[in-house]
A and B are shown apart, each in its own frame.
Chain A
Amino acid sequence: MSDATAEAAPPEATIQPVDAETPFQRFVSEFLDSKVATAAFLFLLAIIALAIFAPWITPQNPYDLAQVDVLDGRLAPGSEAFAGYTMWLGSDGAGRDLYSAILYGLRISLSVGVTSGLIALVIGMAVGLLAAYTGGRTENVIMRIVDLQLSFPAALVALMLIAILGKGVDKIILALVVAQWAYYARTVRASALVERHKEYVEAAACLGISHARIVFRHIMPNCLAPLIVVGTVQTASAISLEATLSFLGVGMPQTSPSLGVLIANGFEYMLSGRYWISVFPGVALLVTVVSINLVGDHLRDVLNPRLNTGGGK
């Protein structure tokens, strides 16, 4: 007998499930067990709040030309603007307050990331469910397309698409959706395959319930947990990917500058010692992506292994 494997034995195996908690309550209390993830989650909420309320809490609308003074250009962090307020993070080449520009940039980055993530999720989920439920040839064709898609780097796919479609917010979102849907499809198919062979699905078939209803009422709700995990992580990577494209100059236009655009704009000043124009938007991007990923990683720990066993197994 190997001691290592024997010790993995779960002694709680025969303890009855506790009936008092709903799955959601258990999920919340297990999530809050990790201090790092809770902190990251609070941080993320703060970032989202800052982005949403940017117009009300920033001293300046950086894209309203009436509020921007070219004479304020390239001021170091902490300088006073011509209009009288302090630019804690300095200003960029055009005289925009960086603090304001970053919050406005966050708005754009987050909304592009979340929108493309949601669209990809819906498409990927539909395709994945279709593949898992129909099986056979349809499944084979769909999954080979998914494999093909996943064998290209996401950035490459997005770059190629933009080269074909041209620039524009809608084009970027489309590119991000195309680069991402396959991840969702693969995740949903994997969990739907498991669910499809469970007895409750057989029972539904016995009860004469239509295929569509079985897929959407029975199978789909049970595939959501892994999808939420992939969704968070993919949203973070969508934000990074959009920033990458913008930095390369093929992403968001100057009229709706995301964090990536801000970083690119500041890049020319890096060598002249005006680090802040690029670095502060970079830090904002980093912090956002890292906190989303921390939340996502912990969600994976909490949601994946046991959510629907009632905690007893």
Chain B
Amino acid sequence: MSAPLLEIRNVSKRFVRRLDLAGKIASRLGAGVSEETVHAVDNVSFSIAKGEVVGLVGESGCGKSTLGRVVAGIHKPTEGQVFFEGQDVAALTGARKREATLAIQMIFQDPFASLNPRMRVEDIIGEAPVYHGLTTRAGAASYVDEIMTKVGLDPSLKKRYPHQFSGGQRQRIGIARALAVKPKFLVCDEAIAALDVSIQAQVINLFMDLREEFDLTYLFISHDLSVVEHIADRVVIMYLGRVVESAGTENVFERPVHPYTSALLAEAPRLDQRKRAFVPIKGEIPSPLEPPHGCHFHPRCPHAVPECSADPPALETVRTDHVAACHLRGRFV
């Protein structure tokens, strides 16, 4: 494998809700108000090779969207670095910084909130390329037409506003907006979760076409295992801010090592499982404000041993291209 296109090294992101004046006074008076720190992403490292599609899977609160936003440059990591084409993104300045910013684009979940309702489609797509001089103001019209055609939108609709489109079409507008700055890397944050089933298939196919045509690399964030299984080459599974397992797609789906991965696989609804009478995994996802000690998953884990509540397990290699963070290392299987 060549040098990775994107590498994140020991990235952590913490959100602190600081106390305002009233809060400070209340806390002095013993009101039990204190600063709250959410460890949204906790010491995560992985790398993505050029042309690869990496699926990032997890449930709410696992930090997958935050991590996606760190990669896309919307959030700055509290600790750790993001390397793009071998360079630390935070250390770049001037034209190189802009180049890296434009090279990594993001596709968002909500096809309503992700488009500015007061802008016409041509401006939504054409704003950034004109702003950065990728096309001239005069050439913008044909530039926008070309990109709209690429994502399957009729260019004659470019004078319309976002509310005049359906959910699937809006998502295509969002994709066109990202493609307009010629990115190399796309972060797709639950990009199909809000769409109807028949439209999901269309958008997934579009992503696969674009990958080939523009030589794109994806970080595909989703809670939907079946979609990730279909589209990803490699899968990273997160739970409460930490990576619990990371491997090639086949290894994850055929030979999962972490009990959480197994639970996710068992509980994802599947067409071929009718009226199933399984015993689901117990418990709630704990609040990221107070994650459990040791392995974050141990209170829900059917195989937990005393060690699990004491120390957090480190990611260890199970087999080639397969790492997992579990004290049991798959011995329960």
Contact = CB atoms under 8 A, between A and B. Distances in A.
A204 B74 CA distance: 10
Given A199-B110, A206-B72, A213 B116 contact: no
B113 A199 contact: yes
A308 interface: yes
Given A17-B163, A203-B108, A218 B177 contact: no
A36 to B, nearest CB: 28
A203 B177 contact: yes
Given A16-B166, A23-B163, A202-B106, A209 B113 contact: no
Given A22-B161, A200-B116, A222-B118, A208 B98 contact: yes
Contacts of A5: none
Interface in A184-227: 198-200, 202-209, 213, 217-218, 221-222
A202 B163 contact: no
Interface string B39-82: 00000000000000000000000000000010011100000000
Contacts of B128: 207-209
Contacts of B164: 19, 310
B253 to A, nearest CB: 30
B288 interface: no
B24 to A, nearest CB: 12
Contact of A206 (B106, B110, B113, B116): B106
Interface residues of A, number: 28
Contacts of B104: 206
A208 B97 CA distance: 9
Contacts of A19: 164-165
Interface in A268-313: 308-313
Contacts of A206: 72-74, 101, 104-106, 178
A86 interface: no
Contacts of B20: 140
B114 interface: yes
Interface in A1-33: 16-17, 19, 22-23
Contacts of A23: 117, 161, 163
Interface in A114-143: 140
B102 A199 contact: no
Contacts of B178: 203, 206
Given A17-B163, A140-B20, A310-B163, A203 B131 contact: no
B291 to A, nearest CB: 24
B248 to A, nearest CB: 29
Interface string B14-47: 0000001000000000000000000000000000
23 contacts: A16-B166, A23-B117, A199-B110, A200-B113, A200-B114, A200-B115, A203-B114, A203-B177, A205-B73, A205-B74, A206-B72, A206-B73, A206-B105, A207-B102, A207-B105, A207-B127, A207-B177, A208-B128, A208-B132, A209-B127, A222-B116, A308-B117, A313-B112
The 3 A-B pairs of least Cβ separation, nearest first, read A310-B163, A199-B114, A207-B128
Given A22-B161, A205-B74, A312-B163, 11 more contacts: A17-B163, A140-B20, A203-B114, A205-B73, A207-B102, A207-B128, A208-B101, A208-B132, A209-B127, A310-B163, A310-B164
